[in-house]
Homo-oligomer: A and B are copies of this chain.
Amino acid sequence: MKPDTNGHLPSDCRAISEILSRIGDKWSVLIVMRLTDGPLRFSKLRETIGGISHKMLSTTLRGLERDGLVTRTVYPTIPPQVEYSLTQLGHELREPVNALGEWALRNQGKIHEARLRYDASAIDAAKRNLPKTA
């Protein structure tokens, strides 16, 4: 296999792709970020992340736990208490994710402008195709 200009093999792209499909879903990153400052209980986690359903929080947490990014601790009290916290691996993940986040923050304006431009020209194109309707 021939490395590209960055010394990356094609197979590396697959690895990137794989990890992205793992954390690229709607909630994983949000959960990891929320656990940055310390452990949180299920319900607290759900509060602080707006808009996540009971089911999705449960499902996503199990996925993160399975991949060793999050630890689940059950306190056998009544009513039961369950705490979630980041593992070492989970904490380490935050670094590249933050890098991506900073890129996003830095460039969200440009992306927004690009979209406006694109959508505007798409409308123009549509008008050229449908000059007389309405």
Q: Which residues of A line the B interface, CB within 8 A?
A: 4-6, 8, 12-21, 23-26, 29-30, 33-34, 36-37, 65-68, 89, 92-105, 107-108, 110-111, 113-115, 117-119
Determine the distance from Cα of A94 to Cα of B37 in the docked complex, in whole angstroms: 29
The complex is assembled from copies of this chain, and their number is 2
Select which of B14, B25, B29 is within 8 A of A13 by beta carbon: B29
Give every chain B residue within 8 A of A67 (Cβ-Cβ).
Answer: 111, 114-115, 118
Does more than half of chain A's interface fall in helix, strand or loop, or is it mixed?
Answer: helix
Known pairs A12-B105, A20-B29, A24-B24; A36 contacts B4 (CB<8 A): yes
Q: List 21 interface pairs A-B (beta carbons < 8 Å), by A numbering.
A: A4-B33, A4-B37, A12-B105, A13-B34, A15-B101, A16-B97, A17-B26, A18-B108, A19-B100, A19-B104, A20-B20, A20-B24, A21-B26, A65-B118, A66-B114, A68-B115, A68-B117, A89-B107, A89-B114, A95-B99, A96-B102
